[in-house]
A = this chain, B = another copy of it.
Amino acid sequence: MSDVLTISQVNELNYEEFIDLFGNVVEHCSICAAAVWRFRPFRDVYHLHQEICSFVDLLPDTGKEGVLRLHPDLAGRLAELGSLTQESSAEQKAAGLDTMTPEEKQLLKDTNAKYRDKFGFPFVICARQNKKEAILKGIVERLEHSAAEELNIGIEEVKKICMLRLLNIVPDK
């Protein structure tokens, strides 16, 4: 676990330290942190978040899909292998995804596969703001949406995940 920082400390980091700390606030997508480096000094953690969100919003749709594709399936193969990023692992645990019954696990696995087949990217939800029941209900409902709707919803979830990951590093006192 890294220590927490104040925004003043963040603004004093050199680029390598900044990327080491914030490179995964959007899962496997360090370009987000690299892109907002030029906006230092940040007024607070919300300013940093806002610049990351603005960058994500400016991505072409292919890039937004790419952002979603860089996320792991919930309770999927990577979780079983123990190969999730530290952040994803903690988030999936917080949602109780590690305590699913075999039936719930199978349902999530099947629905994840259907979702990915239909949309071409994985189901992304802010696990720390949802419990496993809400996630299971959510994926079944969202499967009925259009691809454009799910691209938007998925990206909004990415932003929520990003905010919580940022607050882990730079708590708002």
Residues of chain A having any CB pair with chain B under 8 Å: 15, 19, 28-38, 55, 58-60, 62-63, 65-67, 69-70, 120
- Sample of 8 A–B contacts (CB below 8 Å): A35-B62, A35-B65, A35-B66, A36-B66, A55-B60, A55-B66, A58-B59, A59-B59
Say whether, besides A55-B60, A58-B60, A60-B55, A38 and B70 are in contact (CB < 8 Å).
no
Compute how far the CA of A55 lies from the CA of B34 in the bound complex, rounded to whole angstroms.
17
Compute how far the CA of A123 lies from the CA of B66 in the bound complex, rounded to whole angstroms.
26
Compute how far the CA of A111 lies from the CA of B33 in the bound complex, rounded to whole angstroms.
25
Which residue on chain B has the smallest CB distance to residue A62? B35
Which residue on chain B has the smallest CB distance to residue A28? B30
Compute how far the CA of A70 lies from the CA of B60 in the bound complex, rounded to whole angstroms.
20
